[in-house]
Structure 1
Amino acid sequence: MSRTQHKTNNFRRQMVFLSLISVILLATLFIGVTTAQSKEYIPPTYEYTTNYYRGYGVPDIHASVVGDTYFDRGETANVNVILSNRGILHGFKSVTDVEGDKAKQALAMKELEYETKRTIAYGIKASLVSPNDYIEIESSTNGQILEKLVPGNLPLRPMTFTIEISDNAPAGDYILFLPVSYEYQEDVRMTGGRTIQLGLPDMDHATYYNNSNITLQIPIHVEKEAEFEVVDVDGELVAGEESLIEVTYRNVGELTAEGALARVVVMDPLSIGSSTASLGTLEPGEEHTVSFNVNSEVMAVVKEYAIDSEIRYIDEDGDYAFSDNMKINVPMQSSDKWIGITQISLLLTLLITIYLVVDSIRKKKK
């Protein structure tokens, strides 16, 4: 080979190399453009295609939560999840020699452009799963879908999942699972117009996709708080009388409740003079007993009554907080000092019957 031919070949290799670099840069800028091939068609087999380059790089899907991840017991809240794609295009390897063939070189350059899309995730599907009974996921918010996720681009809006936290959930950290499935471009091969022979549209390339599944973790936190329950009730109601009812409350939560005030709500046939009683400061696990004077109407039905009760207290932030409603179950007894309505009715009926019988006998004697 002459010196002139050698210089010419070197110049051509440099021009091809520069052209490759230019194509890669342009393709990276316009990576969001969808593939030319429609996924409505099954790609042809390899014998009808030619592969010029092998690309390296796949999607790398991550999840992050937008907004607050701290929740209270008994709360129904939304968890907003943003998916991101950190996939990196690591490079390409030439697998078919195209030196000296301008037509093949053009096809190779075109394939190289398509190969840059291999890190895009398509048809993303995600559902939130709770591995424990304390947190439930509302089914109507599951099955979220994204059309595609391009590296470096975030979705316009997050995936929103609704969760329900049990009243009995212990405070602490919880992990929810987010299974994600998607497709990505595994390989691109040039067809050279041979797809028409198979009855397919005239496509210059065929794209082969691979399915991928990944499970991501979504951390949330259930906050500590004071929580109460009724542990003992002493006393009973008596129809037509005022009764002393003693109620013992326990702080079963993790935080101290300061300035706690118990309040009861009664309805007919019950009434109460003072509906509140001070519990003072309740440390976690501590119990306090308070009493209420409850009046019952004389006509009150003998049964067990459920009296509503709640506690107002000052939380760790110095704000007023209220407990959930608690039931105080108290039985009703009849009074020995009063004649019940049934007994009065029977007595009146008996007297009327006796009077009618006596009056009838007198009339017959006359």
Structure 2
Amino acid sequence: MSTDRKRVLISGASIAGPALAYWLHRYGYETTIVERAPELRTGGQNVDVRGAGREVSRRMGIEDDIRAATTGEVGTRFVGRSGSVIAEFPAGTTDSGGATAELEILRGDLAQLLVSCTTNTTEYRFGDRITGIADNDGGAGDGVTVQFQHAPEERFDLVIAADGIGSSTRRLVFGDEPEIRSLGLETSYATIPRTDADDDWWRWYNAPGGRSVTLRPDPHGTIRATLSFVTDRTRERAGSERRSIEEQRRRLHEVFADAGWEAARVLEGIDTADDLYSESIGQVRAPRWSTGRVALVGDAAHCASPVSGMGTSLSLTGAYVLAGELAAHVDHRDAFRGYERIMRPYVAQAQQLPPGVPRVANPKSRLGIAAFGAAVRVASTPIIGRLGDRFFTPPADAIDLPDYAHLG
């Protein structure tokens, strides 16, 4: 690559990072992605590609590839302790509708697809991370000097943090300024063996004590399981409590031992699962997404939480808009301002969850579970179905997506 091209360092090789690299390359930037994991992390649960995010995938030319890698999930079923169906909601048939989107793909499969689109145009550095950032914006030798854990320090024109809700790159520059707001729900994810009794529905079971167990299909012959439970910590920093894998396994056994339905099977599965991951579900509320020559994108900027159904669409859309604004402006400050102006209203709507979510879907008492079951049963009926669909459909189209085609 020629040395007169602006050099951009992106931290994080999940969804937003590679998507941003794709668009920046189209606009003539030289891109490098640093990822602390030793190799691409291919694990993860189902993610939705909805609304504006789906339109971005079309403009990237990967919508058909996403469709080909779909999980095969046919909809959502709420079940009782015996497995009997309480209510069901078929998968959406539009760009945005339904608890199960028309385009469902595993996070890891989407990450692989995005990386494969950028491998020949972006330098990937796995097994390293940013440890220091000296932003000399406007000074002599304009640029950002970056220190790495392993590689020697290096200068870039811009640095973009795309390394998730707990972004260490963001912390280096913004400190604790962004609020990470816990939603009072802890969720653990793992891949477990599929059995003959499994089907292609997303099955959701509630147990007393604010606990839920879900099973979802994947295209690889296994099942993606989650164990969630309500906590009383609604204002602490999400994800602040870290446990070892063995500590988390013991904790899950303690919490879900008597939960019923498929809980025992899931607990047995997590004991040998190599991808068990736990998090305190939360949202990032950052008052600003840039300072100097450093900016945030994806969950590092505005995580709306997995319960929003909007994380992937926000990441794809934010990457598209950020790259487009950088291409449309000579001054990166103007570009960053344009990026926030366009994305802020979209993010605000995505973070505005339905009343009571996620606690309303994880009742603590048996009476609460019965009431929730009655509510979803009514919502699934043909007469009330439109209201139910609205409840499960996030605001995925709520943005006037700019057209930057003339720039690249």
Instruction: State if a TM-score over 0.5 links the two structures.
Output: no
- Name whichever structure is richer in strand by fraction: 1
Q: TM-score, normalised by structure 1?
A: 0.19
* Bigger helix fraction: 2
Q: Whose relative contact order is higher, 1 or 2, with alpha carbons under 8 Å and at least 6 apart?
A: 2
Normalising to structure 2: TM-score of the pair?
0.18
